Amino acid sequence: MLEVNNLVKSFGGLQVTKKVSFEVKKGEIFGIIGPNGAGKTTMFNQISGFIKPDSGSITFKGNSIEKRSPKDICKLGIGRTFQIAQPFPKMSVLENVMVGSLLRTKSINQAREKAKEVLDFVQLNVPYDTPSSNLTISDRKRLEVAKALATEPELILLDEVMAGLNQTGVKEFINLIFELKKRGTSVLIIEHIMEAMMTLSDRILVLNYGEEVLTGKPQEVANNPKVIEAYLGDEIHA
Amino acid sequence: MNKQKKGMLIGLLIVTLLLPYLIQNEFYLHVLTSVLVYAGLASSWNILGGFAGQLSLGHTAFFGIGAYTSTLLYVYLGISPWIGMLVGGFLAVIVSFITLYPSFRLRGVFFAMVTISFGEVIRILFVYFRNKTTIPYGVTINYEPSFTNMIFDGPMGYFYVSFVYLLIILVISWKVKNSRLGFFLNALKENDEAAQALGVPTSASKFKALAISAFFTAIGGTILVQNILYIEPESAFSTSISTELALISIIGGIGTVAGPVIGAIILIPLGESLRALFSGSVQGLHLVLYGVLLMVVVLKNPNGIMGFISSFNKKRKKKREVQLEEVPDVRG
């Protein structure tokens, strides 16, 4: 469904993505992990069109998208969340999600119904007219996911949606993501909470300093000395 | 919109329609007409400045283009101002596309600065090119009352033309605000990165707002010049028109449908009476007063008078809810 090939991106002298390639299959939950500064979010920004890669290609459903605008990529069916939730602060929770659902319909009423449906799906249990600036961290994260889901994506990019949540919140989110998978939505997820990544992901890509360390099943990744090295450092230096 | 609100609006419409019969004084009727035109102009400004959040201080250019197009077409070619008005509107849209569209990357103060220079450049260009033609500095429209000439033999005619003008803009404002475009503009204003991630078309939405805004500002220009029957570059392209439209909207309530109307109802009579009182001996006094008013309103409530009204309504609603909740307690 999504193919990333030999992607390269530098900011000035710093190479943040070094020839990274991977593929997300339809209906798959694909995780990206790596230490801080490994280039995970930059990868997301390139897939969603906010940053243009220097070279390499990104293909989604057979369309090459590395040069498209965020808006066009969203229309093609890739939704994304932001690491720091980005609500429209002066709008209500419902209106926030309606901005997303209006991508697929012109009718305000239809958009409203769709938005309510999505809000119920992500279990954002506050009144629809709550100002989005009044939400707690965990509700903000839910709203962030709801906005992206309202655009009816076939692939959703989740950037640390569980960061800052308590145990219950994390569990609820894990169930939510499994529910998404059941509906046939592919998920590309960045997360630091290993427990969640191990349960959720079908496959995981490990990045370090912009380079692919390895891609594999959660068990393979967890037992690989290279991954442990990337996180904890080399034994000799330690 | 609920029934109560609808009833109130229809009542307000009827009262406004009957006002010329109730007010016989010509000066008051003139002030009232000014209120309607400026409310319409400010509402047009508000579609770009308020809904899209692109603060423009160059709207005088659209105003001047509208006023001059219809006047020159009428005086030199005998084309009815009704047609000239539409031509002026479309011309303003074309000019807006060429000049302001590329500056949409700028936001806030930076966009405002570009628009100030835009207004000035259009004025200077106009004065420069006028010198090359036989068009005199000031153009007078001959007083030949008839509907086709959009010239009336009393203040009544102007009142109703302005009324229809304002009504059309208010309907469009309301439609835009409650449409997909309105949602998109609001989202772009609040967080354009997040809006783009949701597939909101940035440039297309903003251009639609700009086009509507420019078109109706130009039409207001025609209506105002037909009322005065005289035009000159310094007044038609004066920066104070831009500032006035912005001030009316901000004081009334920027980004709301009713805000510009409320702003005009307060500011225009104030300005007109000051002008009448000092009969032009102290120029720009009304702008000083507007400034003071602006400071007071913005300090008290940045959302303008509409902000006061909505926060008052919320308090009342809360009070009512509290009272309702207390009822069982009293019985128990």
| CATH code, domain with A184 | 3.40.50.300
In terms of domains, do A94 and A129 share one? yes
Co-location of A94 and A57 in the same domain: no
The confidence band for A238, taking pLDDT boundaries of 50, 70 and 90, is very low
Q: Residues of chain B whose pLDDT is less than 70? A: 1, 279-282, 323-332
The 10 Å CB-count burial string (b at 16+, else e) for B122-135 is bbeebeeebeeeee
Give a yes or no: residue B311 inside a domain.
Answer: no
If you count residue pairs, one on A and one on B, with CB atoms under 8 Å apart, how many are there?
75
Q: How would you classify residue B321: left for phi > 0, otherwise alpha for psi between -120 and 50, otherwise beta?
A: alpha
Q: What is the pLDDT of residues A57-75, one digit of tens each?
A: 999 999 999 999 999 999 9
Q: At what angle do helices B3-22 and B155-177 cross, to 10 degrees?
A: 160
> Which of A86, A102, A108 has the CB atom closest to B191's CB atom?
A86
Domain that holds residue A92: 87-152
Nearest C-alpha of chain B: how many angstroms from A109?
Answer: 10
Q: Are residues A63 and A91 in the same domain?
A: no
Asked whether residue B14 is domain-assigned, the answer is no
Contacts B202 to A, Cβ<8 Å:
71
ipTM: 0.88
* A91 occurs within a structural domain: yes
Closest CA of chain A from B163, distance in Å: 29
Name the residue facing A86 among B178, B180, B193 (closest C-beta). B193
Query: And the tokens for A56?
Result: 């390499």
- Helix, strand, or coil (residue B227): helix
Chain A interface includes B186 (CB < 8 A): yes
Question: Which residues of chain A are within 8 Å of residue B177 when distances are taken between CB atoms?
Answer: none
Instruction: Give me the pLDDT at residue A26, please.
Output: 92
Residue A235's pLDDT band (cuts 50, 70, 90): low
The yes-or-no verdict on residue A139 having pLDDT over 50 is: yes
Confirm whether A4 is domain-assigned: yes
Using 50, 70 and 90 to split pLDDT, how confident is the model at A195? confident
φ and ψ at residue A215, rounded to 5 degrees: -125, 135
| B184 touching A (Cβ < 8 Å) | yes
Interchain contact, B197 vs A80, CB within 8 Å = yes
Contact across the interface for A108 and B195, Cβ inside 8 Å:
no
Q: What pLDDT, on the 0 to 100 scale, is given for residue B323?
A: 67
B85 near A CB under 8 A:
no
Nearest-CB residue to B199 (from A74, A87, A98): A74
Give kind and range of the element (H or E) at residue A55. Answer: strand A55-60
Q: Does B202 touch chain A (CB under 8 A)?
A: yes
Q: How many domains does chain A have?
A: 2
Question: Would you call B1 an interface residue with chain A, using a CB distance cutoff of 8 Å?
Answer: no
3-class DSSP state for residue A202?
Answer: coil
Provide the shortest C-alpha distance from residue A22 to chain B (in Å).
22
| Interatomic CA distance for residues A143 and A161, integer angstroms | 10
Domain count, chain B: 1
Residue A184 lies in a domain: yes
Tell me, yes or no, if B199 comes closer than 8 A to chain A by beta carbon: yes
Query: A58 and A11, same structural domain?
Result: yes
Nearest CA in chain A to B199: A71
Is the residue at B256 inside a domain? yes
- Contact flag B187-A99 (C-beta cutoff 8 Å): yes
Q: What is the pLDDT of residue A234?
A: 66
- Find the closest chain B residue to A153 by CA distance: B198
Q: Summarize the confidence of residues A101-118 as an average pLDDT.
A: 94
Of A98, A118, A152, the last residue of a domain is A152
Distance CA A103, CA B198 (A): 7
Which residues from chain A sit within 8 angstroms of residue B190, using beta carbons? 88-91
Q: Is residue B16 part of a domain?
A: no
Instruction: State which residues form the domain around B235.
Output: 25-300
Chain B residues touching A71 at Cβ < 8 A: 196, 199-202
CA distances from B79 to B87, B117, B126, B148, B150 (A): 11, 32, 21, 9, 11
Contact B54, B104 (CB under 8 A): yes
User: If we measure between CA atoms, which residue out of A103, A133, A136 comes closest to residue A118?
Assistant: A103
Name the closest residue on chain B to residue A102, using Cα atoms: B180
Residues of B with CB below 8 A from A48's CB? 197
In a domain, B323, yes or no: no
Instruction: Assess if residue B305 is contained within a domain.
Output: no
Q: pLDDT band for A130, please (50, 70, 90 cuts).
A: very high
Q: How far apart are CA A117 and CA B293, in angstroms?
A: 45
> What integer pLDDT is reported at residue B280 of this predicted model?
61
What CATH code is carried by the domain that includes residue B247? 1.10.3470
Residues of B in Cβ contact (< 8 Å) with A98: 183
Average pLDDT over residues A33-44: 89
Return the DSSP state at B52.
Answer: S
Tell me the backbone φ, ψ of residue B254, rounded to 5 degrees. Answer: -70, 140
* Residue found by looking up tokens 């694909």 in the block: A30
Across the interface, which of A71, A79, A106 has its CB nearest the CB of B201?
A: A71
Task: Name the residue of chain B whose CA is nearest to A149's CA.
Answer: B198
CA distance A90 to chain B (A): 7
B113 falls within a domain: yes
What pLDDT does A230 receive?
A: 80
Residues of B in contact with A86 (CB under 8 A): 191, 193-194, 197
Out of B178, B179, B199, name the one closest to residue A71 (CB). Answer: B199
Same domain, A98 and A147: yes
